[in-house]
Amino acid sequence: MTHTDASAGLDPVHPLPAPAPPAGGLTAAEVAERVAAGRVNDVPVRSSRSVADIVRANVFTRFNAIIGVLWLIMLCVAPIQDSLFGFVILANTGIGIVQEWRAKKTLDSLAVIGEVRPTVRRDGAAVQIGTSEIVLDDVIEIGPGDKAVVDGVWVEADSLEVDESLLTGEADPVVKRPGDPVLSGSFVVAGGGAFRATKVGREAYAAQLAEEASRFTLVHSELRSGISTILKYVTWMMVPAALGLIVTQLVVESRDLRDSVARTVGGIVPMVPEGLVLLASVAFAIGVVRLGRKQCLVQELPAIEGLARVDTVCLDKTGTLTEGGMDVTELRVLDGYEEDHVRQVLSALGESDPRPNASLRAIIDAYPDDSEEWRCTESLPFSSARKYSGATLSEGDGESGTWLLGAPDVLLADDAPALGETERLNEEGLRVLLLARASRELGDPEVARGAEPAALVVLEQRLRPDAADTLRYFAEQNVRAKVISGDNAVSVGAVADKLGLSGTVVDARRIPAEREGMAQALEEGTVFGRVTPRQKRDMVGALQSRGHTVAMTGDGVNDVLALKDADIGVAMGSGSEATRAVAQIVLLNNSFATLPSVVAEGRRVIGNITRVATLFLVKTVYSVLLAVLVVCTRVEYPFLPRHLTLLSTLTIGVPAFFLALAPNKERARPHFVRRVMRYAVPGGVVAAAATFTTYLIAGDHYHGEDALDAETSAATLTLFLVSMWVLAIIARPYTWWRVLLVAAMGGAFLLVLVVPWLQEFFALRLVGMEMPWLAVGIAVVAAVALEVLWRWVDRRFPDQDRRDGAAGAYRTST
């Protein structure tokens, strides 16, 4: 069989060191010599970006630059109360840095807990060390599920098969022999061996893989990209509006320069929704900290959001629904064989595999090798692709034979009598292995053909105690669960049924290979057995072709390809290193019950950011429209920066912080930008129209030196009340703390209006009775218009919402 060898691309500039150390490994002196020479695997920190990167990302932003320049201007030309917006930005940026730094610490500590410890040979003994302690020429032992962490060359190979799909895309395992090169990132699927490290540290491909696969990142998510899109459009609107405002206030209006500058800045600052980006970062960072406390390692931050959007979760039975361990419950010897003889064969088979899987481990525990009459002359490790293992055993009397141990429906013909008994046992949820004697040589590609059945080994799997509740949670959240396993379909179906997961059971060998047929079978079925590793990968692709967002869980090497291609890969901490390397989420406590927490955290982040985004963008829309109206009518801009700082703090900043961190079980919905802008635009238009109407009426009503302050105060009252109504809508459905939050914000504004020194500080003074009550009346009309408009928007797009799996932001809030 010909395979593509990923090692063909080894850099010829770096020849392999010579002479090679012995297979027994390096001595302590040789290790010390290499460490002193710097030939150590000093890979970069794998889990997060540096503190400097965090500070830079939070401080040096486009909008911080705009706000910073405006703040410096205001510090020069206006009282300190008109510069409060700058201090708010400093506080918000500081909060963002602190929260992300806490997330970094959590992620770093969890990465250390979940880090693999390779087995190397030092002074003739096998010891486990940290990845960063490997030195050049170390001899590293490796077995099924282990990933090569540095580049090297094989010095030992025992029926060794290596998967290089992460490097080449080729799914078929590659047979390796001593002398063949190995690239980091490949992993063993069968057999075992040892290789000598030839490239370590940053020279090895592993360093690049680890840094890319485990980077703390805030990109590549619909939420983040949606916010970026919104900010891009805001910038386009803000630039001409700001330029027009500057010209109008400084050139057209012949007023005091300082006051004109202050009002110009007051018109530009609220156009910037800088807090939205910061709040999203803080919400994600807090999510990492919360999940970290539950021993959940989030290797890519958007995975929190991604799992919340998942509508189909594919579960591997072994290690996910069941615990890794198994117990032999019965041995059924078939005609022509004696039980003692069969027990001895099973013992010898167990002894022949240096790295037994869970099934063989149960057999070893049940039938320990206490005889020296058997000797293994050749072995064939278990492979998930062929579904069996084997060995050529030499008995004490000199007679030898080839024995196979694996899936009965793979080793036997369809009409074999033993299959009937196997099916009955599978229906009870038991796992059955067949011990068969082969008539062909072990190296024969068709060694299983004509094998003679000797015994059925019945094993019972240990169900995870939390699996049933977790499956029930997914069902309640309308997330479909698909059990995809390499085991017998009937047996897997019985296990699923015990856990309360009902549905059609399908043998994957009968599923069409073409994508459309496979997708249809996946839509109709729930439990799939006898799935090959390649089929698992194809199944994920078939589900994605139907528009599903797919999560895949697993812990074995046969899950790696599917985990890699799924939208979200979830690996168990006790699983193989290969699965942990490609998964976005690692459950370090091996608890399937942690998944609902991840889903809930993602939903909290997405749902709450969608809520508060409406608050921020309503402000942006009415700020731009007010600037346009001022430019068109050539009047003084209604507000000083202190007014809008007060309004933004009470109706957006403080409420948004609490709303963004509140519990939210709402299912994540697609099309973030469209859904938010659908409500932000009419909300901003109503707020701007009501505020400007009050301002113009007040301009005709008041006369004299203090007329501008009175006009501004009336317009501020209207804008505050309309913004409070927007907040009241967004805060629905009401709970006691939401009602208290809205009431507290209203009470704080009332306090400003009645306390003399606060009136003076914020330049708010309501004059007379007629105009303030008219301002209230206009705000009431605007509130009614908001209710009507948002309800109309909700009715206008019902079909689209259902097609998206989304109700509008207004519907979800009410």
Determine the pLDDT at residue 599.
Answer: 81
Determine the pLDDT at residue 208.
Answer: 55
- Model pLDDT for residues 371-417, shown as the tens digit of each residue: 667 777 788 877 767 788 888 887 766 667 888 988 888 888 877 88
Average pLDDT over residues 131-141: 87
Contact 385, 406 (CB under 8 A): no
CATH of the domain at 567: 3.40.50.1000
Give the highest mean pLDDT range of 294-298, 304-308, 628-632.
628-632
**247 with 394, same domain?**
no
Cα(95)–Cα(85) distance, integer angstroms: 15
Q: Which neighbouring-strand residues pair with 613? A: none
Bridge pairing between strands 181-182 and 550-554: unpaired
**223 with 285, same domain?**
yes
- % residues pLDDT > 70 (the chain): 82
The answer to whether residue 149 sits within a structural domain is no
Give the highest mean pLDDT range of 185-189, 413-417, 528-532.
528-532
Average pLDDT over residues 774-781: 93
Q: Phi/psi class of residue 169: alpha, beta or left (left: φ > 0; alpha: ψ in -120 to 50)? A: left
- Model pLDDT for residues 78-88, shown as the tens digit of each residue: 677 767 767 76
Residue 800 pLDDT greater than 50, yes or no: no
Residue 584 pLDDT greater than 60, yes or no: yes
Determine the pLDDT at residue 212.
Answer: 45
**339 with 357, same domain?**
yes
- Model pLDDT for residues 780-794, shown as the tens digit of each residue: 999 999 989 888 887
- Mean pLDDT taken over the chain: 78
Boundary-marking domain end, from 560, 590, 620: 590
Cα(519)–Cα(511) distance, integer angstroms: 9
**Least confident stretch, 380-389, 713-722, 766-775:** 380-389
Boundary-marking domain end, from 460, 480, 508: 460
**222 with 238, same domain?**
yes
**636 with 774, same domain?**
yes
Determine the pLDDT at residue 394.
Answer: 78
Determine the pLDDT at residue 12.
Answer: 34
Residue 444 pLDDT greater than 50, yes or no: yes
Complete edge-to-edge strand list for the sheet that includes strand 296-298: 296-298, 585-587, 568-572, 550-554, 312-315, 480-484, 527-529, 505-507
5 is catalytic: no
Determine the pLDDT at residue 723.
Answer: 93
The answer to whether residue 764 sits within a structural domain is yes
Band (pLDDT 50/70/90 cuts) for residue 370 is low
Whether pTM > 0.85 for this model: the answer is no
Determine the pLDDT at residue 205.
Answer: 59
Q: Phi/psi class of residue 173: alpha, beta or left (left: φ > 0; alpha: ψ in -120 to 50)? A: beta
**361 with 474, same domain?**
no
Determine the pLDDT at residue 662.
Answer: 80
CATH of the domain at 352: 3.40.1110.10
> Peptide bond before 19: cis, by omega within 30 degrees of 0?
yes
**583 with 617, same domain?**
no
Determine the pLDDT at residue 470.
Answer: 87
Determine the pLDDT at residue 706.
Answer: 63
- Model pLDDT for residues 21-77, shown as the tens digit of each residue: 556 678 888 888 888 888 888 765 444 567 787 788 778 777 677 777 778 877 777
Which domain range does residue 453 map to? 326-460
The answer to whether residue 91 sits within a structural domain is no
Q: Which two tokens stand for residue 237?
A: 């609107």
The answer to whether residue 271 sits within a structural domain is yes
Boundary-marking domain end, from 400, 428, 460: 460
Q: Which neighbouring-strand residues pair with 400? A: 394
Determine the pLDDT at residue 13.
Answer: 34
The answer to whether residue 482 sits within a structural domain is yes
CATH of the domain at 650: 1.20.1110.10
Residue from 137, 151, 316, 409 carrying the catalytic annotation: 316
Give the highest mean pLDDT range of 131-135, 637-641, 805-809.
131-135
Q: Which two tokens stand for residue 556?
A: 């074995």
Determine the pLDDT at residue 112.
Answer: 58
Number of domains the chain is built from: 3
**436 with 486, same domain?**
no
**269 with 376, same domain?**
no
The answer to whether residue 752 sits within a structural domain is yes
